[in-house]
């Protein structure tokens, strides 16, 4: 008896949730889910190693043995593209989640604080960070923390939180003027309780919606940084890095840059579709 | 009820529904009848969910932007059926033949433009006049709605005016084209009671002066009673009682009308509970079968549940949807 | 005979500075005894809501003080406001049913939270008590499980009342609780407030612009205009022999009392 209901929960409920999604989100997922799956399956089952050079004939065009061809170091582009998918999506997820959590929390706090000076001071910091040219700040942080995944994540977290904070603060200001917020004061609720149960739940949905579209942005940032050489280090496969490496061969071995570029675009579109669909649903 | 003159507006069995995703229709107004005579004032009374607001919107042709459609019935004005009219036809009528005073004056006046600009616009839309004539007419209209220091108010903006003043400006704008019928949708709900009194008085006086007909929509029977001659009481999309207020006021013949009256604080006996109507009004899409008031009705009987909401029947000098109206005694 | 439960003395609330300052409330003094229903009536801009919010410590007075059982708990210039230990004593029901409940909490959760905090019981007991309290307000268990957006205005107000009663207060400030709901819901809510005021011996301060409601519910009334109290006294006396011209104006403006004008005769 218990086993069948567990199966119900694991299988039936997610499918029911999927059925509730509108066509946009469904297309988006139809695109993303295969990429995520292939991202884990392909590197696991491919006979080729994504990083070791010299195992194959370099600059081979796509054929049945190498579906996406090989790059200048003889590596299989197909396995590299999907190994990169894993890395890029994970980094992008962390690169959104970190700023989202930190920024939303800070925004919620300063939006409902009693002390106008606190709110004012933080807003100066937030506006300053948001105003700074993103590339400059990011490169500076990467220079400090070193390149590679930790540098990228540090750069994203230290800068992007400010956008979420601004969004959350705007929502929190509205919450702070609502009667149910005043009620918590009359009811003598403690500040942590009010923040956790009354402010944050009413504030996070905008951040979440923004986060989904931010996901696309972050993927592009990671690719861009790696393209510039400030992101992941070779031989780690990463879409931006692959596109950068493939630049030199665009006319001769186009597949080296084009396939990761395609994968990047398709992923970005997929996320955008899911984000749009969810946003539309939350609006109803 | 035989009318000796052609009524100005005749609403026959009008039904309106919201269009839901998937092509579903959610009824909100169900076979409502309303006959507005020339130079007569009608009230439409109902609480939230009664359909009175959508009825209003149907009569000024703004259903589409609210996602609703007419699903049955006719709206006859000068021989034309407005229920089937398209936007082009409505544009000739809306504002010019049928004027509209909304509930929220703050949302209806452009905060950036001066009062004069908006009045002049209302005047010029009604007919071609020179700029100077339009401005003179704007001033005249403000004086007509009894705004003190009208010249000064012309230059002001909506947020600089009090609620009562804003409502007067809105009325002035609505009167500019000299409509034959004015529909006022809860025009005093947002106003203080002292101001409400004056605005209702103004509406009544202006109406008589111009020989305009009036449809006044309100949740408050007393407000309608102050200005109107006839009333339609709405509940859950249907009209449950309709007729002359002289008849209905002292002796309501539908349990809902009666319940509305006796649940007022003024009808309360000191020290006793108010006669509240039990239960809740049904929400859209959850209308009970048979008489819609049946679940909450103090005189409900077994045969109160025929197929569908009972139609209005003529009884004791007014129309009522209660098939047991004869059992109701004077309250 | 003990003194008033809750009292406002010479309260002034000033917004803005210098020449732009407005006194929302000026030198207002009111009091409410235990087991008494007192009304504050006035139109918009009269300051009645601001005064109510000073009493529950939502607005700081510029001058004057609020006393609880004769002890000053709020005075101009003090930063602390109500001592947290006394917070349970004075609770409030707000006017707007659409913003007075947390949209992310189910009805029973709003009430259970207050019970948990003030009655210091575990979550499960709090839930049971919350459902019980809501039931006594006419909210079924099914309705209690809903989010505010799935409840009608009248139902939301009743949930608000339940939440306000959860700390078992001695005084209840009701800020126009019936102004934004339908007439049939209004009748229910008024009956409910009357009942709980009597049952619990509450000091009820009822703010309204509706004279009929004030007359029905309260035994004493304060009339406010432009921030000042212009008249006060036993409700019946004020209604039948108003002394201040503004009170008379208010009474004359109530629908039903006014001179009614009609058009031509009945069309047969």
Assess contact for B40 and C264: CB atoms under 8 A.
Answer: no
Angle at C137 between CA C131 and CA C138, to 5 degrees: 90
List CB contacts of B162: < 8 A, sequence separation 6 or more: B195
Kindly list the partner chains of chain A, i.e. chains with 3 or more CB atom pairs below 8 Å: C
Strand partners, C13: C25
Residue B264 to residue C263, Cβ atoms within 8 A: no
The pLDDT mean for chain C works out to 90
A109, two tokens:
């706090």
Q: Does B263 touch chain C (CB under 8 A)?
A: yes
| B196 contacts in chain C (CB < 8 Å) | 253, 255
C35, two tokens:
């087991």
Name the pairing type of β-strands C220-225 and C36-41.
Answer: parallel
φ, ψ (nearest 5 deg) of residue B230: -120, 160
- Burial pattern B65-92, b for ≥16 Cβ within 10 A else e, equals eeebebbebbbbbeeeebbebeeeebee
Give pLDDT, residue A284: 55
Query: CA dist B307 to B237, B290, B310, Å?
Result: 16, 5, 8
pLDDT > 50? residue C260: no
- Nearest residue to C109 (alpha-carbon basis) of C85, C87, C93, C133: C133
Q: Does B209 touch chain C (CB under 8 A)?
A: no
Give pLDDT, residue A143: 84
C55 to chain A: closest CA residue: A186
Give pLDDT, residue B108: 84
Q: What is the number of residues in chain B?
A: 331
Residue A197 to residue C113, Cβ atoms within 8 A: yes
Residue B268 to residue C216, Cβ atoms within 8 A: yes
Give pLDDT, residue A179: 96
Q: Does A125 touch chain C (CB under 8 A)?
A: no
Query: pLDDT of A105-152, one tens digit each?
Result: 999 999 998 888 888 999 999 999 989 888 788 888 888 887 778 888
φ, ψ (nearest 5 deg) of residue A83: -65, -40
- Band the pLDDT of C245: cuts 50, 70, 90: very high
Assess contact for B93 and B179: CB atoms under 8 A.
Answer: no
Residue A186 to residue C100, Cβ atoms within 8 A: no
| A188 contacts in chain C (CB < 8 Å) | 82, 84, 87-88, 117-118, 167
C195 to chain B: closest CA residue: B273
Helices A239-246/A255-283 angle, 10° precision: 140
C187, two tokens:
């009748």
Residues 274-313 of chain B whose Cβ lies under 8 A from any Cβ of chain C = 274-277, 280-281, 283
| C82 contacts in chain A (CB < 8 Å) | 188
Q: Give the helix/strand (H/E) hosting C230.
A: strand C228-234
Residue A185 to residue C58, Cβ atoms within 8 A: yes
Closest CA–CA distance from residue B273 to any residue of chain C (Å): 6
d(CA C205, CA C172) in angstroms, rounded, equals 6
Closest CA–CA distance from residue C188 to any residue of chain A (Å): 22
Residue A179 to residue C84, Cβ atoms within 8 A: no
Q: DSSP state, C227?
A: T
| C153 contacts in chain B (CB < 8 Å) | 48
Q: Does A117 touch chain C (CB under 8 A)?
A: no
Classify the phi-psi angles of A223: left when phi > 0, otherwise alpha if psi is within -120 to 50, otherwise beta: alpha
d(CA A237, CA A68) in angstroms, rounded, equals 14
Q: Of A214-218, B181-185, C180-184, which has the strongest mean pLDDT? A: B181-185
pLDDT > 90? residue A278: no
Q: Does B260 touch chain C (CB under 8 A)?
A: yes
Residue C117 to residue A187, Cβ atoms within 8 A: yes
Query: pLDDT of C99-154, one tens digit each?
Result: 999 999 999 999 999 999 999 999 999 999 999 999 999 999 999 999 999 999 99
The predicted model scores a pTM of: 0.84
Query: Can you give the three-state secondary structure of B47-66, one letter per residue?
Result: CCCCCHHHHHHHHCCCCHHH
Can you give the pLDDT of all 331 residues of chain B as single tens digits?
555 578 899 999 999 999 988 888 999 999 999 999 999 999 999 998 899 999 999 999 999 889 999 999 999 998 889 998 889 999 889 888 999 998 877 788 888 899 999 999 888 887 778 888 899 999 999 999 999 888 889 989 988 888 889 999 999 999 999 999 999 999 988 888 888 888 999 999 999 999 999 999 999 888 899 899 999 999 999 999 999 999 998 899 999 999 988 888 887 877 788 888 888 888 888 898 889 998 899 888 888 877 788 888 898 899 999 988 888 876 5
Query: At B13, is the secondary structure helix, strand, or coil?
Result: strand
- The full DSSP string for chain A is -HHHHHHIIIIIHHHHHHHTS-HHHHHHHHHHHHHHHHHHHHHHH-SS-SS-TTSS-TTPPS-SSSTT-B-TTS-BHHHHHHHHHHHHHHHHHHHHHHHHHHHHHHHHHHHT-S-HHHHHHHHHHHHHHHHS-HHHHHHHHHHHH-SSHHHHHHHHHHHHHHHHHHHHHHHHHHHTTSHHHHHHHHTT--HHHIIIIIIGGGTHHHHHHHHHHHHHHHHHHHHHHHHHTSSSPTTS--HHHHHHHHGGGTTT-THHHHHHHHHHHHHHHHHHHHHHHHHHHHH-
Which residues of chain C are at the B interface, by a Cβ-Cβ cutoff of 8 Å? 43-44, 152-155, 182-188, 190-191, 194-195, 209-213, 215-216, 249-250, 252-256, 258, 260-263, 266-268
Give pLDDT, residue B232: 96
Assess contact for B44 and B232: CB atoms under 8 A.
Answer: yes
């Amino acid at each position: 008896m218990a086993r069948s209901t567990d199966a119900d929960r694991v299988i039936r409920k997610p499918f029911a949730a999927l059925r509730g999604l509108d066509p946009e989100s469904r297309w988006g997922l139809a695109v993303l889910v295969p990429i995520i799956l292939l991202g884990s399956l392909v590197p696991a089952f491919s006979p080729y190693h994504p990083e070791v050079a010299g195992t194959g004939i370099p600059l081979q065009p796509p054929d049945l043995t190498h579906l996406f061809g090989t790059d200048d170091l003889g590596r299989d582009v197909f396995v590299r593209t999907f190994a990169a998918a894993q890395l890029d999506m994970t980094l992008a997820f962390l690169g959104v989640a970190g700023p989202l959590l930190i920024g939303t929390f800070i925004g919620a706090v300063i939006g409902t604080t009693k002390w106008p000076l606190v709110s004012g001071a933080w807003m100066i910091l937030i506006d300053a960070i948001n105003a700074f040219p993103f590339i400059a700040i990011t490169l500076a942080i990467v220079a400090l923390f070193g390149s590679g995944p930790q540098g990228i994540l540090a750069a994203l977290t230290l800068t992007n939180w400010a956008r979420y904070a601004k969004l959350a603060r705007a929502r929190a200001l509205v919450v702070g003027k609502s009667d149910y917020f005043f009620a918590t004061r009359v009811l003598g609720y403690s500040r942590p309780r009010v923040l956790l149960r009354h402010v944050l739940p009413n504030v996070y949905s905008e951040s979440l919606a923004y986060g989904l579209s931010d996901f696309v942005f972050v993927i592009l940032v990671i690719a861009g940084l790696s393209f510039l050489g400030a992101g992941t280090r070779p031989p780690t496969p990463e879409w931006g890095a692959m596109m950068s490496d493939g630049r030199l061969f665009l006319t001769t071995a186009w597949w080296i840059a084009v396939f990761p570029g395609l994968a990047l675009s398709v992923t970005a579109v997929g996320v955008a579709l899911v984000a749009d669909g969810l946003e539309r649903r939350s609006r109803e | 009820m035989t009318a000796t003159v052609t009524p100005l507006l005749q609403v026959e069995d009008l039904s309106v529904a919201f269009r839901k995703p998937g092509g579903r229709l959610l009824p909100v107004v169900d076979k409502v009848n309303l006959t507005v005579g020339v130079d007569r004032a009608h009230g439409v009374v109902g609480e939230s969910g009664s359909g009175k607001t959508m009825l209003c919107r149907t009569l000024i042709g703004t259903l589409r932007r609210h996602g609703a459609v007419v699903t049955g019935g006719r709206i006859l004005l000068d021989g034309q059926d407005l229920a089937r009219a398209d936007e082009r036809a409505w544009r000739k009528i809306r504002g010019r033949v049928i004027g509209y005073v909304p509930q929220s004056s703050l949302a209806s006046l452009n905060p950036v433009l001066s009062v004069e600009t908006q009045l002049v616009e209302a005047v010029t839309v009604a007919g071609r006049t020179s700029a100077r004539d339009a401005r003179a007419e704007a001033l005249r209209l403000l004086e007509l709605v009894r705004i003190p220091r009208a010249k000064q108010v012309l230059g002001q903006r909506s947020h600089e005016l009090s609620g009562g003043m804003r409502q007067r400006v809105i009325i002035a704008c609505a009167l500019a084209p000299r409509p034959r019928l004015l529909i006022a949708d809860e025009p005093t709900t947002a106003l203080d009671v002292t101001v409400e009194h004056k605005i209702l008085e103004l509406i009544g006086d202006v109406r008589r002066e111009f020989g305009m007909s009036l449809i006044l929509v309100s949740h408050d029977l007393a407000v309608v009673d102050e200005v109107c001659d006839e009333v339609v009481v709405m509940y859950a999309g249907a009209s449950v009682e309709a007729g002359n207020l002289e008849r209905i006021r002292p002796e309501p013949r539908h349990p809902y009308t009666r319940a509305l009256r006796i649940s007022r604080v003024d009808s309360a006996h000191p020290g006793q509970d108010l006669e509240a109507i039990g239960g809740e009004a049904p929400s859209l899409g959850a209308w009970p079968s048979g008489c819609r008031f049946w679940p909450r009705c103090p005189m409900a009987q077994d045969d109160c549940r025929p197929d569908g909401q009972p139609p209005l029947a003529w009884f004791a000098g007014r129309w009522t949807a209660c098939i047991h109206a004869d059992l109701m005694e004077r309250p | 005979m003990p003194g008033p439960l809750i009292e406002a003395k010479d309260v002034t609330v000033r917004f803005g500075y210098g020449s732009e300052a407005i006194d929302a409330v000026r030198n207002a003094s009111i009091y409410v005894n235990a087991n008494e229903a007192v009304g504050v009536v006035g139109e918009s801009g009269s300051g009645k809501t601001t005064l109510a919010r000073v009493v529950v410590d939502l607005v700081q007075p510029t001058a004057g003080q609020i006393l609880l059982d004769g002890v000053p708990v709020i005075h101009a210039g003090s930063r602390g406001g109500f001592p947290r230990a006394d917070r349970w004593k004075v609770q409030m029901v707000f006017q707007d049913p659409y913003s007075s409940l947390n949209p992310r909490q189910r009805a029973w959760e709003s009430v259970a939270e207050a019970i948990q905090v003030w009655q210091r019981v575990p979550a499960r007991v709090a839930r049971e008590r919350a459902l019980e309290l809501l039931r006594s307000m006419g909210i079924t268990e099914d309705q209690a499980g809903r989010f505010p957006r799935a409840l009608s205005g009248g139902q939301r107000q009743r949930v608000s009342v339940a939440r306000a009663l959860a700390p078992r207060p001695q005084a209840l400030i009701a800020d126009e609780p019936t102004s934004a709901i339908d007439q049939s819901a209004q009748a229910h809510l008024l009956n409910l407030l009357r009942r709980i005021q009597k049952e619990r011996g509450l000091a009820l301060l009822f703010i309204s612009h509706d004279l009929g409601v004030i007359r029905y519910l309260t035994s004493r009334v304060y009339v406010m205009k432009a921030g000042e109290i212009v008249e006060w006294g036993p409700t019946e006396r004020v209604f039948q022999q108003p002394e201040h011209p503004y009170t008379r104006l208010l009474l004359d403006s109530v629908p039903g009392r006014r001179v009614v004008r009609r058009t031509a005769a009945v069309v047969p």
